[in-house]
Structure 1
Amino acid sequence: MLLLNPEQHLDLHFTPIDNAWLTFARSPVPLVLQDLDALQGRYPIVISPHGTPVPLLLPELLQPHQAAPWDNYTPNQLQAYPFHLIQQPVIADDGSTVEIRESLAIDEHCPHLQLRAGYRLFDDDGQLTSFTRSIIDRLHALAQAQSRTERFMRTLERVGVMVPARVYHQGECFDCRLIDPLRLDRAMEALDSEAEGLSATVLAHRLLDAQERLEADQVRWLTQIEGEKGLHEITIMTGENVDKSTQPVQ
């Protein structure tokens, strides 16, 4: 990651390209609620297997949909690529305290960077150009969208509607979590009592719609069997046109 500054990068230019096609080289792609609203369940999406639950699009499962990728839509995370905002501790002007400052960074291996073609990142006085300021505004908006989506996902996790799963496709294996529709039905009362329960419920149904597009070779719930160690696999989906309503062992 390259931290941008006018002393070293005054002549650096940025050439926009269609980032949607970078999906197939980047795995997985984190999504926010706006992405799910735009994609409307047309593409296969799962939930990250560990830590804070995040909706993920797995490019490896996109092969049946490559003929018309995204319908001219690019997920927010890819819209912001290759820029990132980094919080850095620095010595304040008084020389005695440390404060956190925001720095703009870029993936130095991205195909967008040029020396003389495209948009300038800094003007002749070393100030941010209007283009660079618009990038920073987009990154701030993305951070807010990610925070909002994570809150709703934590609500779904808290009421227990996610189950661990394993997706098998073309010789590869992907651990993830999925929404269990039966558990979701049982959790409606708990969701009603949550401050953001309605938004979390809408998100859960968006994820269920996306699960219907899991055109993988096989999907298995990972369940805990009483008295035994570890998780056990139970096949729930095989092939493209199968009954996807099978529930995990409760």
Structure 2
Amino acid sequence: MSSTPRPIRSVSNTELYDRWAKVYDTDGNILQALDDHMLPPLIDRVFKLLSSSSPLTITELGAGTGRNTVKLLSTALPISRINALDLSPGMLAVAKSRCAGALGSDGQAPQVAFYDFDALRPANYPLVASLSLTADLVVSTLVLEHLPLSDFFRTVKWLLKPEGGYLVLTNMHADMGRKSQAGFVDEETGEKVRGESFVYEVSEVLEEGKKWGFVLEGEVGERGVRKEDIGEGRLLGERGKKWIGCLCWFGCVMRLKV
């Protein structure tokens, strides 16, 4: 006997992530788990490419619940400042709480500041405008699917220093995007809640990046779900079983060529 399908509600991305914030890190999202697993090598790669010996400024475009912010705060990497931008005030509230314990009182951790920001309406955020052209590195994970490609790369270029900089980008793979999109089940209402989402092939992303002056550094990484990922104590829980054999994630490092 089949279960009754859950009602699906489409909402704005702001509403989606405000509602999702309270369970985003605990609801067993397989794409987030893959991203956490695959991101560290990309961060290692980009820090080997950054030649500056002076402390770096990193801007996160779509910081979410701060899962990457807190990792950066906890490293010994030469970071002076992290600017964490996100569309969702609910997500930023979780990020602020999450990162508070990592800041310490010894003054050794990077400065970190959190900003509301919508890449589709940058003129509405004068505080973020002051950050334009200041970043050595932009980190944006699992954000691209919610933005038109041109708006994404325009914003990244606007954030990076005019003499160039780097982008660490991850996103849902098109193979997964054709079957699903970002969303969650709101246990209070029983609804499957979804926002606006775009499906991009890797080749489309690289081609659009070139139009804005970005070139690929190294190779694009792609990751699917494997049988050995599933099970207690492994990378993914039972929710990942239906995705075995499907490419779900891709990530890369890009450089702004000047």
Q: What is the TM-score normalised by the length of structure 1?
A: 0.25
Q: What is the TM-score normalised by the length of structure 2?
A: 0.24
Q: Which structure has the larger Rg over C-alpha atoms? A: 1
